[in-house]
C-alpha cells in the first residue's frame, strides 16, 4: 500500500506481464496497472477494485492492509471488469457494504454479475461525508462507458478519475513525476487515441463541464498508470487539445504490399509530399502494431492509404486499419487512396470509398499502377504527393 496523499492510499495491482488489453484489441507493451484506492477517514472507503485474474493477490492485500471487515463504503467509478472484477469476492464476504456508483453503474454491475448488492446510485454534485473529508461524484457518461464517473475527495483535493487521464503503464513509481516523462505522455496519447477518440465531442463538453465546477484539483489519480502529482492540470489541458480536431501536421502513408509495387508508390508519394514541405511517415500495416498505428493516424493531419488488390479487395492488414479508422470517428482529417494490381484492381477504389464512409475528407481520386510502376508512373505518384500536399495546406 503506497500513500498517495494524506489518508489516501494506492492499493492497486501493477500488471507487469500484460501485453494485450480488451481481449487482444489493444497492445500494452509496458504492462498496466489497476489502481484501486483506499481512503482512511472516520469511514474506510475503497474506490474501485481490480480485474478478477488478480483477485487472490488483491484480496490478500486488502485483508492484510485494510481488513475486509473494516470497509464501510465501496465506490465503483466504472463497472468494466478491470475495475469491478474483484467485487464478487469482496461482496461474498461482506454483502452489506454499500456500493456507490452511477445509475448506469447499477444496471451494468447487475447485468455483469447477476447480483443485487447494496447499491447507492449517485449523480454529479452528490456528496458523501466520510469524516474529515467529503466525497463528491462527477458524472462522466461515455468517457468511456455509459456508467463512467469520477470521485473528487474534498480536503486533499484528489480527483479519482478512473479511466480518464490514465495510461496502460506499469512503472517503478506510481507517480508521473518519478517516471520517464516521454513514456508517460506516449502511453497517455495512445490510451486516448485507442479508447477515447471515438468520444471526442463528448470529452470536450465534459472537460468544460468539469472545469466549470471549479474544483481545486491538486492531484489526479486515474485507474490505470501514473498519478498526476506535479502539474495535474497538464493532462486535462492535453485532453482538451486532443479532443479538439487534434493533429501534429504530418501525413501517415499506410500501405501493405506483396511484391513491393505499392511500397514503391508509397515512397514516391512521400517524396512528393516532402518536395512541398510536408512531413510524412511510412507504415507497412502488416508489420505495424494496430494500436500504435491508430495512434499515428490520430496524430496525423492526413492519411494516404494503399494496397495491392487480392481477391477483389485490399490486403487484410489494410482492411483491419480501415475498420479501426472508421470506428474511431476521427475528425477534420484528409485522405487519399492508392494501390497496385494485376488485373481487376479494386483495392484502391475500395479504400477510397471506405475513407469517405469513415468521415475522412478524401481530396483526390485514387492513383493506381498495373503490376510494377515504371519511371513515368513513379513520377505520377510523386505528383500525387505534391497535389495532396496542396490540399493539406488549404
Ligand atoms: Fe479501465 Fe474502462 O476500464
Q: Is 10 a catalytic residue?
A: no
Q: Residues 95-145: pLDDT tens digits?
A: 999 999 999 999 999 999 999 999 999 999 999 999 999 999 999 999 999
Per-residue pLDDT, 13: 86
3-state secondary structure of 320: helix
Per-residue pLDDT, 394: 80
Taking a C-beta distance cutoff of 8 angstroms, is the pair 7, 39 a contact?
Answer: yes
- Torsion angle defined by CA atoms of residues 78, 83, 84 and 85, in that order, rounded to the nearest 10 degrees: 150
Q: Residues 232-268: pLDDT tens digits?
A: 999 999 999 999 999 999 999 999 999 999 999 999 9
Per-residue pLDDT, 12: 83
List, chain by chain if needed, residues with CB within 6 Å of any ligand 1 atom.
Answer: 78, 80, 82-83, 144-145, 163, 223-224
Q: Is 114 a catalytic residue?
A: no
Taking CA atoms only, the protein residue closest to ligand 1 atom 3 is 80
Please say whether the structural domain 252-392 has been given the CATH code 3.90.1300.10: no
Closest-lying ligand 1 atom to the alpha carbon of residue 163: 1
Query: What average pLDDT score do residues 283-287 get?
Result: 98
Q: Under CATH, what is the fold of the domain 2-242?
A: Metallo-beta-lactamase; Chain A (3.60.15)
Q: Is 37 a catalytic residue?
A: no
Q: What is the pTM of this model?
A: 0.96
Domain boundaries in the chain?
2-242, 252-392
Q: Residues 139-165: pLDDT tens digits?
A: 999 999 999 999 999 999 999 999 999
Closest-lying ligand 1 atom to the alpha carbon of residue 223: 1
Q: Is 24 a catalytic residue?
A: no
Q: Are strands 2-5 and 8-10 parallel, antiparallel or unpaired?
A: antiparallel
Taking CA atoms only, the protein residue closest to ligand 1 atom 1 is 163
Burial letters for 320-338: b for 16+ Cβ neighbours within 10 Å, e otherwise? bbbebbeebebbebbbbbb
Q: Are strands 37-40 and 20-21 parallel, antiparallel or unpaired?
A: unpaired
Q: Is 54 a catalytic residue?
A: no
Per annotation, catalytic residue among 34, 191, 255, 341? 191
Taking CA atoms only, the protein residue closest to ligand 1 atom 2 is 80
- Torsion angle defined by CA atoms of residues 89, 91, 92 and 93, in that order, rounded to the nearest 10 degrees: 100
Alpha carbon distance 374, 219 (integer Å): 59
Per-residue pLDDT, 190: 98
Amino acid at each position: 500500500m503506497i500513500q498517495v496523499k494524506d489518508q489516501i492510499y494506492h492499493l492497486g495491482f501493477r500488471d507487469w506481464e500484460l501485453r494485450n488489453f480488451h481481449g487482444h484489441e489493444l497492445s500494452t507493451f509496458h504492462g498496466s496497472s489497476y489502481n484501486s484506492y483506499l481512503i482512511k477517514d472516520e469511514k474506510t472507503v475503497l474506490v474501485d477494485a481490480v480485474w478478477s485474474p488478480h483477485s487472490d493477490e488483491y484480496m490478500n492485500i486488502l485483508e492484510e492492509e485494510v481488513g475486509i471487515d473494516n470497509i464501510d463504503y465501496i465506490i465503483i467509478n466504472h463497472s468494466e471488469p478491470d475495475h469491478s472484477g474483484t467485487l464478487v469476492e469482496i461482496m461474498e464476504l461482506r454483502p452489506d457494504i454499500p456500493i456507490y456508483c452511477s445509475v448506469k453503474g447499477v444496471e451494468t454491475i447487475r447485468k455483469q454479475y447477476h447480483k443485487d448488492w447494496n447499491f447507492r446510485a449517485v449523480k454529479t454534485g452528490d456528496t458523501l461525508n466520510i469524516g474529515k473529508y467529503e466525497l463528491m461524484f462527477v458524472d462522466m457518461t461515455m468517457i468511456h462507458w455509459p456508467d463512467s464517473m469520477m470521485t473528487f475527495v474534498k480536503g486533499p483535493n484528489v480527483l479519482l478519475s478512473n479511466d480518464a487521464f490514465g495510461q496502460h503503464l506499469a512503472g517503478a513509481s506510481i507517480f508521473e513525476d518519478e517516471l520517464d516523462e516521454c513514456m508517460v505522455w506516449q502511453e497517455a496519447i495512445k490510451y486516448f487515441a485507442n479508447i477515447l477518440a471515438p468520444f471526442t465531442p463528448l470529452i470536450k463538453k465534459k472537460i468544460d463541464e468539469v472545469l466549470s465546477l471549479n474544483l481545486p484539483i491538486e492531484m489526479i489519480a486515474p485507474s490505470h498508470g501514473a498519478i498526476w502529482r506535479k502539474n495535474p492540470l497538464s493532462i486535462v489541458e492535453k485532453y482538451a487539445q486532443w479532443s479538439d480536431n487534434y493533429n501534429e501536421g504530418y501525413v501517415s502513408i499506410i500501405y501493405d504490399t506483396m511484391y513491393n509495387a505499392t511500397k514503391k508508390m508509397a515512397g514516391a508519394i512521400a517524396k512528393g509530399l516532402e518536395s512541398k514541405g510536408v512531413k510524412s511517415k511510412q507504415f507497412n500495416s502488416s508489420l505495424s502494431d494496430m494500436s500504435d498505428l491508430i495512434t499515428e493516424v490520430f496524430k496525423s493531419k492526413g492519411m494516404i492509404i494503399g494496397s495491392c488488390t487480392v481477391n477483389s479487395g485490399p490486403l487484410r492488414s489494410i482492411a483491419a486499419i480501415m475498420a479501426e479508422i472508421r470506428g474511431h470517428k476521427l475528425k477534420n482529417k484528409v485522405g487519399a487512396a492508392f494501390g497496385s494490381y494485376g488485373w481487376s484492381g479494386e483495392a484502391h477504389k475500395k479504400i477510397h470509398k471506405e475513407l469517405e464512409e469513415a468521415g475522412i475528407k478524401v481530396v483526390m481520386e485514387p492513383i493506381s499502377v498495373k503490376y510494377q510502376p515504371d519511371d513515368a508512373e513513379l513520377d505520377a505518384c510523386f505528383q500525387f504527393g505534391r497535389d495532396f500536399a496542396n490540399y493539406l495546406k488549404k
